[in-house]
Each structure stands twice: as structure tokens, then as C-alpha cells.
Amino acid sequence: MKKYISECIGTAVLVLVGCGTAAITGGEVVATSLAFGLAIIAMAYAIGNISGCHVNPAVSLAMLINGKMKAKDFVWYVIAQIVGAFVGAGILYFILSNTIDGVTGLGTNGFDAQSFLGITPIAAFVVEIVLTFVFVYTILGVTSDEKKSAVSGIVIGLTLAFVHLIGIGLTGTSVNPARSLAPAVIMGGEALAQVWLFIVAPLCGSALAAVVYKFLNKE
């Protein structure tokens, strides 16, 4: 139970800080990228020793495929992450609704008119697969060696930051189905209509990363 609670807390912090920065700054690239990256670094060292700090269904899927977690844990991790995402997005919604401008956004993802560069759905799908592959593959690599454990949180956080640097202008950068789902449900409209892509594509990218990593590191 401690693992699941930790995942819930970690995901809530990620969504509150990351999506909150995106909403407050209007999606300013550097600020939002750093917010997501620093949130992961903080949570990695706060809850990493309890749950591994997945805070992302895509990361948990890769761990499941590579045999690093059981199916039962995977299900409860994902549930905890989704609940945490809604907690974080809910807190953010409450805070923004009590400001002068009100709620103008919650850092939702999108394509076509919902994307800063107007990216097409197919291209957005490819972007999310590639960025999730890079992110998850890095996690698998850095967490496979205990000698790297002291710096793994920093490496993972910086990797999340740099995939955001390129992805924000394209899709808003998901690479995390829970992070995308909660803000989309709360905002509704086009964000909710398009959220399927930001659930499916990151999971595909994660599965691909897990399979490639297992193949390349097979003895």
C-alpha cells in the first residue's frame, strides 16, 4: 500500500507543478520543461526508495514487460497514478479558478488547432512514440545498474526536461497517459476528444522501448 500511495503523491506533484507551470506561463518552453524535470528529480529522491517513482503508466508498462514488476502491482500502480493525476489537476483547477483570469488551461496536450505548431494527428502520434521511447529507454538503462542509483533521479529528470524542450511546441509533450488524462477530463472539449492519442502513443513508445532494451541487453 505504501508503494501505491507514493505513486499517487508523486504523480499529483508532477501534474500540479508541471501542468501548473504550463498553465501559468502559457506553455513557456524552458520554464515548463524545467518544471516537469525538476518535479521528477524531487520525487525520485523522495519516493524512489519506496515505489521506484514511476509516476507514469508508460514507465510501469515497460517495467512489467521487462519483468521488473508483477501484473497486480502494475494495475495498482496505474490506478494510483491516475488518481494522483486527478488530485494534482484538481488542486491546480481550484487554485487557478480563484485568480483574476480564472482557468484558461491546465497544460493539456493536443494536435491540429490545439497544437502551437498545428501538428497533424499522425505526426503527433509519431512524436509521442519517439519521445516516450527516448524517455523510457533512458529510465531502463539508468535503473539497471546499481552503481548509477545515486544519479538516476537527476538523469531521468533531465531527460524528461529535454524531451519537453522539443515536444511542447508540437504536442505539449505527454509521454505520460495519466498526466494527459486528468487535465483533459477536467477541461473537456477538444482536449478530452484528443486525449486518446496521448494515452495510446506513449504506451506504444514505452512497449517499443522495453522490447528494444530487452533485445539489446540480452546475454
Q: What would the pLDDT profile of 110-152 be if each residue is shown by its tens digit?
A: 999 999 999 999 999 999 999 999 999 999 999 887 777 788 8
DSSP for the chain?
A: -HHHHHHHHHHHHHIIIIIHHHHHHTS-HHHHHHHHHHHHHHHHHHHHHHH----SHHHHHHHHHTTSS-HHHHHHHHHHHHHHHHHHHHHHHHHHHTSSS---------SGGGSTT---HHHHHHHHHHHHHHHHHHHHHHHS-GGGHHHHHHHHHHHHHHHHHHHTTTT---S-HHHHHHHHHHH-HHHHHHTTHHHHHHHHHHHHHHHHHHHHT--
Percent of the chain with pLDDT over 90: 89
Structure confidence at residue 218 as a pLDDT band (50, 70, 90): confident
All structural domains of the chain: 2-216 (1.20.1080.10)
